[in-house]
Structure 1
Amino acid sequence: MRRLHGILPILFLLLAIYQVLGQNSWPSRERRCVARHKCRHQVDFRAMTKGNNGCPAPETYCQNIHILNDVPDISVEETVNPECGRPNTRGVTFEVPNMDGFAQEFEFPWMVALLDIKGEYLGGGAIISPEVVITANHVTNNLTEDQLIVRAGEWDLKTNSEHFPHVDARIRSIVRHPGFDKYNGANNVALLFLRTPLKFTQHIKLICLPPNNRNIRNLDYSRCILSGWGKKSFNDFTDMNVLKKMELPIVHNNKCEYQLRRFFGYTFQLDNSLLCASGELGKDTCGSDGGSPLACSLREDPQRYELAGIVNFRVLCGKQDVPTVYTNVGKIRDWIIIETNKNLNVSARTS
């Protein structure tokens, strides 16, 4: 017993020394949310889909010892005469592995969200010039210029912690195609003319318009991409927070017309101003994707995209052999150019 009493003080002393040394030598396991480019170790998107440990999508839950405190913040730089249709395939400030079904940070810089005055998401659109956004007619239906907001430079709708801020632009005028037919979707397109031109940066750029009556054979069928914040699948209850991305094949009009006659009857004819895509199981537009762009890469330049279509209407969501219908931008290019020149000239004369 006396020997035990003599050993106990030594044990307590050793324990105290161990605790002091441990605090100074063992790496801290404390973590916090930081910008992704400021963390040495990254997690893949599967961790983000499980809540991202409470961090916004542009941030990661980083162990303190892995935080790169000496990394400077990234600044937004205005881009002079940017080349149209160039995506940020690896993101702008960071890249997340395994982003299946979702876009990288600012991957599609031409993508815009259309919001109501309360900030609620209504649909998508695409930037085709500093002052013009293209979308679907039905998204703007019964709304005035003062009731819509164009949000450019967005990725995650539910946070403002992205490294580059989004830009909310007010609309000067809305020009809707006079040949729009709500019964068959013909000419379902509208142009939104902005009060103030957008400044092009790393995360805000325009998409290329196709040449007039674009021959679809010049597009890479396997590299058409739909982006938008609508529901990812029929089973989802809400629209997406992070911008989704789906690779979809073009479906020839004759085949699309045949497949859709199961729903519209044997006399159904697909209007010449339309095109179809998808028809693959689990890959489709769902929810509020109206007006969102279908961008296809060029065979001669696979890293460059042009605006093949904008989401028009669908019958079912993500069903096999049931394609979605898009407004064919190549078929209405002349109208786009005429209205753009007319309305920009009016703006120049009155300013």
Structure 2
Amino acid sequence: MNKGPKLVVDLRESSKNRCHYLEVCCHPDDKLKPLDAAIHMEHNQCGISNVGGVFMTLTGGRLETSFAEFAWTAAILDAGHNFLCNGVLISRKVVMTTATCLTTEEPLIVRAGDWDLVTDREAVQHENRTVKDRVVHQQFRWDSTQYNIALLILTEEFPRLQHIVPVCLAPMTPVDLDKESCFVCGWNHRIVSKTPSARNIVLKMEMDIDKSSWSNNSRSTILEGTPRSEQPVYAKGAPLVCPTESSRYYLVGIWSTSLNGGTQFTDVRQFRLWINRELRPFNIFL
């Protein structure tokens, strides 16, 4: 149904008919052609969310977000376009993920601007880019969760569109973040069928961050958190973000592993110098 300038998608209503939940049943002759509705942006700001989503707002879900609400989420795919892991845009040419996501030497693809991985029926199409180079932290070991971080350098930049926006990295000087409002956004790491009722939408999971690991007096590379939701989610490689008072979002962690009901994140704040150093040979400066 339409409500003002946005389409409202109610997940509770969509299960009552045989059509796809993003479509309305009609005669084939009345079917509309998709529009190129992508909104180009002149600015190059980071960490800007689309409150309530772009073009459509989702209702009736639990953790599901609206379309492009957190436009820095990225999907890492294999050459067959199968979902492997979550990632996060830290620039229009660089995606961050965990080293444990890179289990294959086969070519990788990064998808930005997607929302439901099971369908291509969104109002605005996603963009794919091939991974040109991989940078895994030199101290990463498979038998440890320390230094579990990697950078993917793309063949070309993603365009400046409203549904594709990089997240902000914490600057060298501390920024005041609201650690009570941190959350993970990404896709559940699962396989779903492509039936009309199936979906794998970007989720938002609010997290309680362990105070001792947040202050990080031990200089550990691990940040620990506990999901506030009881719904089981495994969002490997997904970003943990926290807002400023002005609702600008900064990346503080990436989902490393789940353990005893809690989640361990790689503390991205500890790697700003490493990120800058590794990107310099590619003439990328953040």
Same fold (TM over 0.5): yes
Give yes or no for the alignment of 1:141 onto 2:103.
yes
One-letter amino acid of the counterpart of residue 325, structure 1: Q
The change in CA–CA distance for 1:38 and 1:311 in structure 2 (over 3 A counts) is same
TM superposition shift of 1:184: 2.8
Structure 1 or 2, whichever has the larger Rg, is 1
One-letter amino acid of the counterpart of residue 204, structure 2: K
User: Any runs of at least 4 consecutive aligned residues in structure 1 with deviations exceeding 6 A, and if so which?
Assistant: 35-41
Equivalent in 335, 340, 349 of residue 274 of structure 2? 335
CA distance in 2, matches of 1:255, 1:41: 39
The change in CA–CA distance for 1:279 and 1:154 in structure 2 (over 3 A counts) is closer
Length-normalised TM-score, structure 2: 0.84
C-alpha contact 2:97 2:238 (8 A) present in aligned 1: yes
Equivalent in 277, 280, 290 of residue 236 of structure 2? 290
Report which of the two has the higher share of strand: 2
Report 1 or 2 for greater relative contact order, CA contacts < 8 Å, sequence distance ≥ 6: 2
CA distance in 1, matches of 2:232, 2:83: 19
The change in CA–CA distance for 1:43 and 1:175 in structure 2 (over 3 A counts) is closer
- Summarize deviations over 1:143-185 as a string: whole Å, max 9, x none: 24x2x11011100111111111111100110011101133331
| Superposed counterparts of 1:32-51, under 5 Å | 42=8, 44-48=10-14, 50=15
CA distance in 1, matches of 2:6, 2:95: 38
Which residue number corresponds to residue 53 of structure 1?
Answer: 17
TM superposition shift of 1:204: 0.5
Structure 2: any 5+ residue segments left out of the alignment?
194-198
One-letter amino acid of the counterpart of residue 103, structure 2: N
Give yes or no for the alignment of 1:107 onto 2:69.
yes
TM superposition shift of 1:37: 7.5
Give yes or no for the alignment of 1:178 onto 2:138.
yes
Identity, % of aligned pairs? 29
The change in CA–CA distance for 1:163 and 1:43 in structure 2 (over 3 A counts) is closer
Give yes or no for the alignment of 1:243 onto 2:218.
no
TM superposition shift of 1:63: 8.4
- Summarize deviations over 1:185-210 as a string: whole Å, max 9, x none: 11111110000111120101110001
One-letter amino acid of the counterpart of residue 277, structure 1: G
CA distance in 2, matches of 1:91, 1:255: 30
Equivalent in 36, 52, 56 of residue 90 of structure 1? 52
C-alpha contact 2:87 2:95 (8 A) present in aligned 1: yes
CA distance in 2, matches of 1:307, 1:228: 13
CA distance in 1, matches of 2:204, 2:81: 22
Give yes or no for the alignment of 1:304 onto 2:243.
no
Length-normalised TM-score, structure 1: 0.69
Give yes or no for the alignment of 1:224 onto 2:190.
no
CA distance in 2, matches of 1:272, 1:331: 8
C-alpha contact 1:246 1:284 (8 A) present in aligned 2: no
CA distance in 1, matches of 2:170, 2:127: 26
| Superposed counterparts of 1:136-285, under 5 Å | 136-144=98-106, 146=107, 148-212=108-172, 214=174, 218-231=176-189, 241-253=200-212, 272-278=220-226, 280=228, 282=230, 285=233
TM superposition shift of 1:54: 3.6
Report which of the two has the higher share of helix: 1
C-alpha contact 1:180 1:186 (8 A) present in aligned 2: yes
What is the aligned residue count? 277
Which residue number corresponds to residue 196 of structure 2?
Answer: none
- Summarize deviations over 1:253-280 as a string: whole Å, max 9, x none: 46999xxxxxxxxxxxx87111111254
One-letter amino acid of the counterpart of residue 308, structure 1: V
Structure 1: any 5+ residue segments left out of the alignment?
1-34, 258-269, 346-351
